[in-house]
Amino acid sequence: MAAKTCTCSLEVNEQELLKRLDDVLNDYKGKPGALIPVLQITQKMFGYLPEVALKRISRKLDKPFSEVAGVVGFYSFFSTVPRGRHLIRVCLGTACYVRGGKQVLDAIKKNLSIDVGETTTDRNFSLEVARCFGACGLAPAITVDDDVHQRVKPARVKEILEAYLPGKAVKRVKSPGKKGGRK
């Protein structure tokens, strides 16, 4: 089944992807709870959820388009616009916001010349905000894909982003550790 979902190194046209989607839909047709797994597989195949794919999912799973679109709109991990290779999320929960999360977000927007919900023209980065990562003691925090960067300062944003440019090996940027400590 991996061959149906991975387009990692292949450039595939939309018609080929829709044929692969039909295979997935045939595997899931009639199974309870199929919608979310099908949407996840589809997003992995296309890189996002284009309307043509959502309509096909609606027809083949015999679900109203409004239900399919509603699920896509409800869950933040689904996207109806192409995303970049790297997804950046900036935490703007209370602790992160108070400790400079908004300034970190502004620095990212300035460095990438995009706004929240947008993707860079080279499709390397997409930018989103989140309300809480559950890392309040490490605020402000951002994630790039599955990497959590903690105690981020606006001055370090460029260094963090450069590590994710094509041809660069992602270097984990260590957060400042506590010196000393309570006894």
Along the 183 residues of the chain, how does pLDDT read in single tens digits? 333 444 444 457 889 999 999 999 999 999 999 999 999 999 989 989 999 999 999 999 999 999 999 999 998 789 898 889 999 999 999 999 999 999 999 999 999 999 998 999 999 999 999 989 898 999 999 999 989 999 999 999 999 999 999 887 665 544 444 444 433
Instruction: Note the pLDDT of residue 183.
Output: 36
Instruction: Note the pLDDT of residue 61.
Output: 97
User: pTM, whole model, 2 decimals?
Assistant: 0.64
Instruction: Note the pLDDT of residue 169.
Output: 65
Reduced 3-state DSSP string for the chain: CHHHHCCCCCCCCHHHHHHHHHHHHHHHCCCCCCHHHHHHHHHHHHCCCCHHHHHHHHHHCCCCHHHHHHHHHHCCCCCCCCCCCEEEEEECCHHHHHCCHHHHHHHHHHHHCCCCCCECCCCCEEEEEECCCCCHHHCCCEEECCEEECCCCHHHHHHHHHCCCCCCCCCCCCCCCCCCCCC
